[in-house]
Amino acid sequence: GMVLGVSSFQSVTHILEAFKAQQKALEREEQKARRDRSAAKPPPQPSSSSASSRPRAGSSSSKAAPPASAPPAGKAPKPVATIVVPAAITSAVNLWNVSQLLREKRWISPVELKQSGAAKPAEIKLEHCFEDGSRARFLVIENANKLSEAEWRNVACVIVQGAAWQFKGWPFKSEADLFTKVLGVHMRTRDETPNQLVKSWNVEKYAFSKEKVNQHDVAVTVSSFWQAVHKSMTVQKPHLLMKPHQLS
């Protein structure tokens, strides 16, 4: 019985080793194919070409990007850009519905989502490809009070609710100071009364229809939002953008 035990153990070991070798070979092939693909990629098109020739442009994907090859020595990976959203369930955009809004250009009422039993995510991670082919990784959060000074430098956008207490404890002298340094955005549904406080703030203001038949209205708003984010990041936070040639 002992001999049988040893030999069957050895055969299992052989099978495992053969399997590992096979996996390694597959990985090597995959890496080679990836290298060949990147070598065969056509040169990037000039930015003057129409966006329609690049179907990927302006799309957000929730899938993690394939692991980039290790960055060259001394070159750190790009930091993640942060978007801060309101915590209030009554806000048109918050952690309940921001994923559907920014990824799928669909607006769903946060109140309805909560009533349906959906759980509120603690945070949302997404990647967005802008129209010029550059990209950024985003982390969407609602509580900015835990951010360090260094992390504040990576805040690309604050979606405002329209109440000053949202910024309580934030490292800015005033709302004016905040919106000089960080892109402010206010979104509301068309049936909401415009917020008087927001009117006086230097923020991008969007209103869209919440009717299902007018989903196009939401898509237009989301496209405008990403354009504003891109413009602001290009000027104020270029360190958060990955240019097409950096997308290893």
pLDDT digits (tens, 9 = 90+) for 140-179: 999 999 999 999 999 999 999 999 999 999 999 999 999 9
- Amino acid present at 117: G
Torsion sign over Cα 191, 221, 102, 71: negative
Q: Which DSSP state fits 214?
A: G
Per-residue model confidence (pLDDT) at position 59: 53
Return d(Cα 64, Cα 123) in angstroms, integer. 15
Return d(Cα 203, Cα 194) in angstroms, integer. 13
In the chain, which residues have pLDDT < 70?
1-16, 18-21, 23, 25-26, 29-30, 32-33, 36-76, 245-248
Contact indicator for 67, 76 with CB cutoff of 8 Å: no
Pairing of strands 81-84, 204-208: unpaired
List, in order, residues 6 or more apart from 219 with CB less than 8 Å away: 105
